[in-house]
Chain A
Amino acid sequence: MTSSTTEPTTYAVAADADVVRVRQAVRDLAVQAKFSLVDQTKLVTATSELARNTLVYGGGGEALVALLDKAGRPGIEIWFRDEGPGIPDLDLALTDGWTSGGGMGLGLSGAKRLVDEFEVDTAPDRGTRVRIVKWRR
């Protein structure tokens, strides 16, 4: 089985307009990788939730977007990184309806449902890194 990763493209996440820019970049890549419209929409929606978290809770950061290939099957990998306060209780943050800020509490838990792979690395004062992958079906 061969697998490869393109060099990721880095996008700053420092303002509302940046969230839109990352969404559009992920959409373009998902179209290029011939994702179905529903899968494009799920990935772009998850991207929107996580980029907003990076901006609002992480105080800004960056998103790294890469195209994967696993034995001819394309996938899209996105890292969201911030140097913010971190998530004190990750299990709680992944609970539907729980929110620390004025949101609906669906950002993390909802995004997780929309993608195939979902990993969070976070600790207080160490910032947060979230990695998601969605594979073409």
Chain B
Amino acid sequence: MDRVPILRIGDVLLVSIQVDLQDDIALALQDDLSQRIVDTGAKGVLIDISALEIVDSFVGRMISTTAAVSRVLDAETVVVGMQPAVAITLVELGLTLSGVRTALDVDRGLAILAGRESGVVAEADDDDQLDD
């Protein structure tokens, strides 16, 4: 079975999903990320889904669970790069990814995670935009 690679940049784990995600690979990624957070003490997880053509309820659940688990492990998850057609479909499907922070691209996602570290974003859960 293929695995999605996890890159470490400083104390951020970066995942860029470049394959049509099948369920067992998505589950393996969820497990791998949790383990890597513990192993590395990472404070942030950035998941780039710009290459994903769909996000269905299974992948949506994987993303929500990953965000929840990383929060418990003292790391924040930001999902970046969702395509507009995917966002429209996701909402119509009934998924809102509540509790998951999102950003338009990797740069903004990294800025959110950097802001958390330096304490710029005081209430990360409510603010979607980073105040510079």
A positions within 8 Å CB-CB of B: 16-17, 19-20, 23-24, 27, 37-38, 40-42, 44-45, 48-49, 52, 96, 103-104, 106-107, 109-111, 113-114
Contacts and interface: CB of A to CB of B under 8 A. Distances in A.
Majority DSSP secondary structure for residues of B touching A: helix
B23 A41 contact: no
B93 A106 contact: yes
Majority DSSP secondary structure for residues of A touching B: helix
Nearest to A37: B85
B20 A113 contact: no
Interface residues on B, range: 20 to 34
A37 B84 CA distance: 10
In the A-B complex, list the 9 residue pairs whose CB atoms are closest, starting with the nearest. Answer: A110-B93, A41-B85, A16-B22, A48-B56, A106-B57, A38-B85, A16-B23, A106-B94, A45-B54
Contacts of B125: none
B86 A41 contact: yes
Interface string B111-131: 000000000000000000000
Interface of B: 20, 22-25, 53-58, 60-61, 83-86, 88-89, 92-95
Nearest to B93: A110
25 contacts: A16-B23, A17-B22, A37-B85, A38-B88, A40-B85, A41-B53, A41-B54, A41-B83, A41-B88, A42-B89, A44-B54, A45-B54, A45-B55, A48-B54, A48-B56, A48-B58, A49-B56, A96-B94, A103-B58, A106-B93, A106-B95, A110-B57, A110-B92, A111-B93, A114-B92
Nearest to A96: B94
Contacts of A37: 85
Contacts of A106: 57, 93-95
A20 B22 contact: yes
A111 B95 CA distance: 12
B68 to A, nearest CB: 13
A50 to B, nearest CB: 10
